[in-house]
Structure 1
Amino acid sequence: MTSYLIRISKQLNISYISSPDIGFLRGLKEPFASTKTSLVFRFLDQDGYEPSTKKSYGFLLSNLTYIKTFASAILVPKVYVWPVDETSYLLPHTNLVADAHRNELQVFAYGFANDKINVHNYSYNPITEYLSFIDNGNFSVDGVVSDFPLTSSAARECFAHLRHSASVQAMPKPLVISNCGASGIYPGCTDLAYKKAISDGTDAIDCPVHMSKDGVPFCSSSVDLMANTFVYQTEFRKFASVINEIQSNTGIFSFSLNWSDIQALTPALSNPYGQLGLFGNPKYSKSGKIVSLSEFLDIAKNASSVSRVLIKMENARYLAENQGMSIVNSVLVALRDSHIQFLRSDERIMIQSTSSAVLKAMKGKGFELVYEVHEAIEVIDSEVIEDIKCFAHSVVLNKDSVFFNSNGFLRSWTHVVDYFHAFLIPVYIQGFRNEYVSIPYDFYYDPVVEINSYVRLARVEGLITAFPQTAVDYRNNRCLTLDKKVKYMEAKIPGELVSLVPDELRPALPEAFPNLTEGEVLEPALPPVVSNASLHHSPPPQVAATSTSALLPRQLTAFLSCLYIVLSL
């Protein structure tokens, strides 16, 4: 090997030669003394033994003066710099970098890969991990060895020093909207999740509203409290039931418990990929306080950086007919009592729902009405978009409605966003997370590469994310204002990566997503609220009246819906 390296060094320039073998590097010192080649001693596990000296690498680490006699740099596992405890949290950094620099040795760290991030401090964002080595305010390594060099290069060129700079000018778009607050880090819809989202710099915090038994609207990621609390470990497990109008599986629903009971519940951090060993922030997995809608609005009012609030409403029809509650009226009362108001035209209250009836009920009250297309769609007809425009100002889509994902590979671009843009309807995309298993191969398991492609290729107006800081950092990064040739900021074109897969290994295309139809979009008006007294008796057949609009042809229903909106204004 020594002879080989000497021979090829006469034909090309070798920048670095690394080895964990001191004898091998010593044999190269004289032949490469007059070249620009750096000899790098690579440390292996501290308990392992170096073959020439028979000393452990841990022992050699304490004698960097000796290492300097045959090498100009050291290559160390990243845990040599930032040790990790048994619960996968960072311990205080070591003095290795400072000691090495004092001995005039460069320090390179290895072990970086976007799909191997298991330290909770980084929130599964590889950019954050690199920044901890090059932008921590105390030291910087001289280089990193990475399986994903695009990400490490971007950390250095685009993101370093942004979080500590007061002069950063954020791009106005895309809008960053939290998903139940910073729910990737704290239990969703808790005070801690909202405060974290605010400190991350999110533009809008969101509250999915649900109703307690005694009529208090509060924030919860699900009407089923088993999905986000430890309610089943309490006496309230006796309320477990199946309500097919809401979901097919057993749940303990918010309207079964009084608000005081819900307040006493322990919230649970969502771990959508826990079965794969990817857990959130375990130190705080049961932390935070569930907040009412009124408390949520107070949090928003006291956050000067928040320009919008997003309020989501679902199950309005069921609550009116079966629980004697109007979620629409409850939200309106809470907004009125909070006296929340925004002064600029780009500051507003957003109301989101999968129900057109809910949005129609909120029409004409000065809100931005957001229609959520819950299922993934591949095509949408112009007539359906016209229907949506009658009762909504903007739409929320799932990620799969933009890029067609097949077994982790992007296959095509649906252009659904373009259809809405043709009707001047802004589009917000939900479902962004940092965990690498949520990100297609085409995006290199990098959440920032994923966001960039949605923004640059699909031109979406907003991002709804459980990790707001990732999206805010993306919008602040300096490479967005540089020349378009910056490799990291190029949108990844769907289909390019899968074309490199041999035909016999290429995953088959799944069935196409269904089109969104007028019948799915247009709904009868919300029914009047059934009184609590009548809920205990079976109503006579003639009481169960059907809304007139449900009996009309679809085209006439759409026309009357738009006409109602005009009259309400």
Structure 2
Amino acid sequence: MAERLRFDVVESVISALNYAGYDNTSLQVMIQSPNSSVLEMFKQLTQYKLVYKIDYTIRDADPSSVSDIKTFAHAVALSQDSIYPELNLYITGETGLIPKFHAAGLDVYVYLFQNEFLSQPWDFLSDATVMINTYSVGAGVDGIITDFPGTGRRYKRNTCRNLSETPNYMLPIQGGLLVSLMYPGVMPPAMAPMPVLSNSNVTEPPLPTPTTVAPSQHGGMAPSLQPSGCQCVALAYIQLVFICGFYLLL
């Protein structure tokens, strides 16, 4: 987009946030991207909290990759399977990734939580609250990204979380327990090993600067995008982020 359309997405998003007053607010604003080059640019130009989204499932992370993420982001967003791997809707264990990111000073958020039981492994008993509680208490995540903020708010207001003796229904599910109770003949086939996050997966070249459009074959400059169109794209992008997932800090 920068090279061919002369459209600076980062600058457009920053301008839209500033126009809405988010550059001068007590609210915590977070910007998420799966591209390290994008977050590095935001870090140079803003003071917002930056979240690096690992948009594929991993089983581990090299120390060098964690250190690299620390240089341009304040947090990471992991898929649910990167914490509790599942196969055919059965959890097979726990990766133990969260302590590695916490040791580097990075917060960990998990995506994407939904209420529909078809999206939840059987270990969570088709209960969205049990699922949130397992990731919060069992895995120790700092927040979740959900399509159902009302469910998350209900969990945060649950007074059973603060009891001196936690009732059984508020205990986190042990990853892999349900599979261990299954008869071997009906167990799902072994899953292929998930990749390990390496430094080469994180490091990216710097974002190109928007360039001028080359002259057309008929002479003169090729038509450029109208500013109003760019602003609409940026605003639509921001709205899409808010619609697709709400951050819930636990």
1:463 aligns with 2:144: yes
- Kept in 2: contact 1:369–1:394 (CA 8 A): yes
2:62 to 373, 376, 381: 381
Partner of residue 85, structure 2: 404
Alpha-carbon separation, structure 2, partners of 1:323 and 1:348? 32
CA displacement at 1:342 relative to structure 2: 5.3
1:332 aligns with 2:14: yes
1:353 to 12, 15, 33: 33
Alpha-carbon separation, structure 2, partners of 1:484 and 1:414? 28
Matches within 5 A, 1:159-238: none
- Kept in 1: contact 2:109–2:141 (CA 8 A): yes
CA displacement at 1:430 relative to structure 2: 0.9
- Kept in 2: contact 1:323–1:535 (CA 8 A): no
Q: Percent identity?
A: 35
Q: TM-score, normalised by structure 2?
A: 0.82
- Kept in 2: contact 1:418–1:458 (CA 8 A): no
- Kept in 2: contact 1:454–1:460 (CA 8 A): yes
Secondary structure of 2:166's partner? coil
Partner of residue 161, structure 2: 480
When the two structures are aligned, how many residues end up with a matched partner? Answer: 216
1:511 aligns with 2:183: no
Alpha-carbon separation, structure 2, partners of 1:425 and 1:411? 26
Secondary structure of 1:362's partner? helix
The two structures, once aligned, show a CA RMSD in angstroms of 1.5
Secondary structure of 2:210's partner? coil
Alpha-carbon separation, structure 1, partners of 2:215 and 2:111? 37
Secondary structure of 2:4's partner? helix
- Kept in 2: contact 1:351–1:367 (CA 8 A): yes
CA displacement at 1:408 relative to structure 2: 1.1
1:122-156: CA deviation from partner (whole Å, max 9, x where unpaired): xxxxxxxxxxxxxxxxxxxxxxxxxxxxxxxxxxx
Letter in 1 for 2:167: V
Alpha-carbon separation, structure 2, partners of 1:339 and 1:429? 28
1:447 to 125, 128, 132: 128
- Kept in 2: contact 1:402–1:413 (CA 8 A): yes
Letter in 2 for 1:504: G
Matches within 5 A, 1:487-506: 487-506=168-187
Partner of residue 3, structure 2: 321
Matches within 5 A, 1:20-419: 319-341=1-23, 343-344=25-26, 347-364=27-44, 365-419=46-100
CA displacement at 1:527 relative to structure 2: 0.5
1:297-341: CA deviation from partner (whole Å, max 9, x where unpaired): xxxxxxxxxxxxxxxxxxxxxx11232211001112222323334
- Kept in 2: contact 1:484–1:490 (CA 8 A): no
1:275-310: CA deviation from partner (whole Å, max 9, x where unpaired): xxxxxxxxxxxxxxxxxxxxxxxxxxxxxxxxxxxx
Alpha-carbon separation, structure 2, partners of 1:371 and 1:320? 21
Secondary structure of 1:524's partner? coil
Partner of residue 107, structure 1: none
